[in-house]
């Protein structure tokens, strides 16, 4: 094992660099992981491009990354279910395990976990990383480490689809065909939904959705809400039962509330501006449930199973690969919008 621990450090707006950090030593309940691949996510890009995420400013340097896979190098003395050589993916943000949310099973809402493993604590875009063993999920032999890095965004989709009660026979509109919209599309299909329409304002993104099997797609760039609703109604043969909003754009959230069938559900996955104007009266009088989404809870095992069984193929989403030394190019490529998922490979 090499002694260096090259890490991608964000210092502030547009300031990302490589630094050699100390090789960490696992605590008794942790494993030391040789990181294989880390995906660049929209939140990494926000922190890189804007120097902030939501209201949270980047004030101190920290290691980026939270969509990671790797191989266990050393297990702490109390770790029973993992050993050196095991291939794993990491579920970021370890909760306190004691608060009402953790004890109630919704550990993604634990207040402690919101600031662990970025935003804005040290993440996993580095050669070696120590992490709680019980938030490391073993990958089956037929799931590659590259696919393992996609389990994080796929888990977001599993959570969003579960909260929306996505099931066969429902019709689903997905707003936004970025990586998160696309994993939601794949998950809806996997859950038996056949009537799915996906929107975007970028023809390139909609082309990718089409390649993944989307039969119904709509470019909403030049459409006002009224026009978009009419088009969606005509494409889908009626209004959607469920809308999964994955862009965070104000006009898209507004459309989601207006277009969803009375009594339906809108899940807000996209995280855009902290405050936006929405037609709340529409949602109230037509009993459209608005559900927030924050990451996932108990979704990794399902996401891994969906990939290992072959029901979901995440490989077409991985469009670019860079090694750690070329991380700047990786961030530029991801920020250009030309990529779907960019992976940074961290091993030497
Ligand atoms: P992305 O920026 O790559 O994709 C967003 C897509 O939305 C783009 O293709 C863009 O062209 C499209 N878009 C923009 N305006 C639109 C509009 N008016 N109508 C339809 N489409 C529009 O981002 P991503 O990685 O796919 O993530 C999507 C969103 O999900 C982001 O806001 C991200 O922060 C959020 N996110 C939330 C969670 C959570 O736990 N809630 C987890 C991960 C990501």
pLDDT tens-digit map of 328-340: 999 999 999 889 9
How many angstroms does the Cα of residue 125 sit away from the middle of ligand 1? 22
**Distance (Å, whole) CA 5 – CA 252:** 42
pLDDT of res. 100: 95
Average pLDDT of the chain is 94
- 178 Cβ closer than 6 Å to some ligand 1 atom: yes
- For residue 271, give the ligand 1 atom closest to its CA: 32
- 251 Cβ closer than 6 Å to some ligand 1 atom: yes
- 293 Cβ closer than 6 Å to some ligand 1 atom: yes
**Distance (Å, whole) CA 114 – CA 235:** 39
- For residue 159, give the ligand 1 atom closest to its CA: 40
pLDDT of res. 51: 81
Question: Are the C-beta atoms of 127 and 34 separated by less than 8 Å?
Answer: yes
What is the tens place of the pLDDT at every residue in 7-35? 999 998 888 999 999 999 999 999 999 99
What predicted TM-score, i.e. pTM, was given to this entire model? Answer: 0.96
What is the tens place of the pLDDT at every residue in 38-48? 999 988 898 88
171's CB contacts (< 8 A; 6+ apart) are 193, 195, 196, 236, 237, 238, 239, 240, 241, 242
pLDDT of res. 263: 98
pLDDT at 142 over 70: yes
pLDDT of res. 53: 74
pLDDT of res. 47: 85
- 256 Cβ closer than 6 Å to some ligand 1 atom: no
Q: What is the DSSP string of 3-60?
A: S--EEEEEEETTEEEEEEPPPP---TTEEEEEEEEEE--HHHHHHHHHSEETTEE--S
What is the tens place of the pLDDT at every residue in 297-340? 999 999 999 999 999 999 999 999 999 999 999 999 999 988 99
Best of 259, 270, 293 for a ligand 1 pocket test (most atoms within 8 Å of beta carbon): 270
- 180 Cβ closer than 6 Å to some ligand 1 atom: yes
How many angstroms does the Cα of residue 111 sit away from the middle of ligand 1? 24
- Over residues 175-194, mean pLDDT: 98
ipTM: 0.99
pLDDT of res. 112: 66
**Distance (Å, whole) CA 249 – CA 270:** 8
What is the tens place of the pLDDT at every residue in 240-274? 999 999 999 999 999 999 999 999 999 999 998 88
How would residue 179 be classed by pLDDT, with cut points 50, 70 and 90?
Answer: very high
């Amino acid at each position: 094992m090499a002694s260096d621990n090259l890490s991608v450090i964000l210092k502030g707006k547009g300031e990302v660099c490589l630094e050699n950090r100390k090789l960490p030593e696992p605590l008794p309940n942790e494993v030391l992981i040789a990181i294989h691949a880390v995906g660049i996510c929209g939140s990494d890009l926000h922190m890189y491009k804007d120097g902030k995420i939501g209201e949270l400013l980047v004030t101190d340097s920290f290691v980026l990354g939270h969509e990671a896979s790797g191989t266990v190098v050393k297990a702490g003395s109390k770790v029973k279910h993992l050993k050196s050589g095991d291939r794993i993916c990491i579920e970021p943000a370890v909760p306190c395990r004691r608060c009402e949310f953790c004890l109630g099973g919704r550990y993604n809402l634990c207040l402690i976990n919101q600031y662990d493993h970025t935003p804005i604590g040290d993440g996993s875009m580095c050669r070696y990383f120590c992490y709680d063993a019980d938030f490391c999920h073993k990958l089956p032999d037929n799931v590659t480490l590259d696919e393992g890095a996609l389990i994080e965004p796929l888990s977001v989709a599993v959570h969003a689809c579960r909260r929306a009660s996505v099931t066969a026979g429902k019709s689903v509109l997905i707003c936004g065909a970025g990586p998160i919209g696309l994993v939601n599309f794949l998950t809806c299909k996997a859950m038996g939904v056949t009537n799915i329409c996906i929107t975007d304002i970028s023809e390139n993104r909609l082309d990718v959705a089409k390649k993944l099997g989307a039969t119904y797609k709509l470019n909403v760039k030049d459409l006002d809400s009224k026009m978009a609703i009419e088009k969606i109604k005509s494409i889908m043969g009626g209004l959607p039962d469920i809308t999964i909003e994955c862009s965070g754009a104000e006009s898209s959230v507004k459309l989601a509330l207006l277009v969803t069938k009375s009594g339906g559900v809108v899940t807000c996955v996209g995280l855009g501006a902290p405050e936006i104007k929405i037609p709340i009266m529409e949602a109230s009088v037509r009993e459209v449930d608005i559900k927030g989404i924050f990451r996932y809870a108990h979704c990794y095992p399902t996401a891994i199973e969906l990939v290992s069984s072959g029901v979901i193929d995440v490989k077409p989403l991985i469009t670019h690969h860079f090694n750690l030394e070329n991380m700047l190019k990786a961030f530029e490529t991801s920020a250009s919008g030309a990529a779907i998922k960019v992976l940074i490979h961290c091993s030497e």
